[in-house]
Amino acid sequence: MKKRIQIAFICVSCFLGGCSSSFCLTSDATSQLNQSSYVNYLEMAQTDTTLYYVDELCELYAYESGDTAMKLASLYYVDDQEIDNITQLNYSPKNYSDLSLSGRNLQVFSDGLIYASMYDSVEGGIEYHLNYLTKDGKERHEILDLDYEPNRFFLQKETIVIEEVGNDKDIIHCYTLDGKEVKQISFDEDVYNLYGYENSIYVKLASQLVEIDLTTFDSEVICSGEAYVALYKDMVSYYTLENDGNQIHSGIKNMYDGNVFFSIDDAIIDYFDDQYIYTTSYNEAHTTYRIYDWNKNLKKEIRPYDTLGENILGAMPIALQQSEYSTIARIWNGQLIGSCYGNQGMRIYTCDIDSGKCKFIIN
């Protein structure tokens, strides 16, 4: 399989690493999102103007502010033909089928998107691919051929980082852009999320934050004892649970010296920048988003229930508590992005920060 990986990269090396007139890898192209969120199960990526989302039926949507999301493509292919309806999975391929792996990640890359898929060949069985797709969904290229199932992945600087789904251990694989695997790092506990910032990647475990230097590929535990949520520059937000999970304490601290800059009770800190801290309420009847400045002055309060109504199906739990709507998945174009369960699966909504009004982006 290593030989196959090398061959795949030789075929696309000019596409990935070389600078062609239409496609060239730069650090800017691979660092679209400096913060990764507590909600890490959404296959979502963004540019300044567009939010991209792959739903549970492997359908790719593009959303621009104020509009309903537009379907761009289905990421289910049989013998080079795009299949619009995933319920046709019983369609028998002559050569192969290729199906997007739901919820694994989606990353903007130059003029396209990177996503993971399961490739089932009639001749050779199942393998897994990392793919490049143009934003209009019309052109697709295989980037990396894997002999293990990938979970999370991202491209950071000049490194491809992939988490392997393992039985006993979670393994982080680091590749150069020409397909050479330069490091494997194993963890005895589950990996909850991956973050990338400058020359490092950060691995979120249950109660540890591990930094991997992308120059030397050395790893080091830099924080422990809390659950870690979001990173920004050299700071990280975290929380601890008390009273059998009925109470929560959150804060923002320096990752390296432990200096605490902000703290709050009864909320999770989903996102923060130089001006504001964005939080989700914990253990309230209706999920509430509150935005504070660094002096802890409340600047805005948004409750999805007020415009979307009651959601009896709920959302992914927040820590140990059930919730009506999710924590904040993204901050994008003056909007909060969240999710909840619906009759047809996961639903994505936006909440305008100025007006406080929320709406679903896919009807």
Number of domains observed in the structure of the chain: 2
Q: What is the pLDDT along the chain (363 residues), one digit of tens a residue?
A: 332 222 233 233 333 333 323 333 444 445 444 444 444 668 888 888 899 999 988 999 999 987 789 999 999 999 988 888 777 556 678 899 999 998 788 888 777 898 999 999 988 789 999 988 988 888 888 888 899 999 888 887 788 899 998 778 889 999 887 778 999 999 988 888 888 888 888 999 989 999 999 899 999 999 999 999 999 889 999 999 988 888 999 999 999 999 999 999 999 999 999 999 999 999 898 999 999 999 999 999 999 999 999 999 999 888 878 899 999 988 999 999 999 998 878 899 999 999 999 999 987
Of 147, 163, 197, the residue at which a domain comes to its end is 197
Which pTM does this prediction carry?
0.86
Do 176 and 305 fall within a single domain?
A: no
Do 20 and 98 fall within a single domain?
A: yes
Query: Looking at the domain assignment, is residue 342 inside a domain?
Result: yes
In 107-218, the DSSP E strands lie at 107-109, 112-121, 125-134, 140-146, 150-156, 159-164, 170-176, 181-187, 193-197, 200-204, 208-213
CA distances to 120, 271, 353 from 296, in Å: 53, 15, 18
Do 68 and 188 fall within a single domain?
A: yes
Query: Looking at the domain assignment, is residue 293 inside a domain?
Result: yes
Do 18 and 135 fall within a single domain?
A: yes
Query: Looking at the domain assignment, is residue 190 inside a domain?
Result: yes
Do 291 and 193 fall within a single domain?
A: no
Query: Looking at the domain assignment, is residue 14 inside a domain?
Result: yes
Query: Looking at the domain assignment, is residue 248 inside a domain?
Result: no
- In this prediction, residue 21 carries a pLDDT of 30
Query: Looking at the domain assignment, is residue 277 inside a domain?
Result: yes
Of 197, 212, 244, the residue at which a domain comes to its end is 197
- In this prediction, residue 90 carries a pLDDT of 63
Do 162 and 311 fall within a single domain?
A: no
In 245-344, the DSSP E strands lie at 247-254, 260-265, 267-272, 276-281, 289-293, 298-302, 315-318, 321-323, 330-332, 335-342
Asked if residue 34 lies in contact with residue 205, where contact means CB atoms within 8 angstroms, the answer is no
Residue 73: CB atoms within 10 A of its CB come to 23
Asked if residue 247 lies in contact with residue 266, where contact means CB atoms within 8 angstroms, the answer is yes
- In this prediction, residue 37 carries a pLDDT of 44
Do 71 and 149 fall within a single domain?
A: yes
Of 197, 230, 249, the residue at which a domain comes to its end is 197
Do 56 and 188 fall within a single domain?
A: yes
Query: Looking at the domain assignment, is residue 213 inside a domain?
Result: no
Do 1 and 114 fall within a single domain?
A: yes
Do 187 and 323 fall within a single domain?
A: no
- In this prediction, residue 102 carries a pLDDT of 84
Query: Looking at the domain assignment, is residue 347 inside a domain?
Result: yes
- In this prediction, residue 125 carries a pLDDT of 82
- In this prediction, residue 269 carries a pLDDT of 95
Residue-number span of the structural domain to which 307 is assigned: 267-363
8-state DSSP, 93: P
Element (H, E) at 80: none
Please give the Cα distance from 305 to 104 (Å, whole number). Answer: 29
Do 25 and 149 fall within a single domain?
A: yes
- In this prediction, residue 108 carries a pLDDT of 84
Do 60 and 173 fall within a single domain?
A: yes
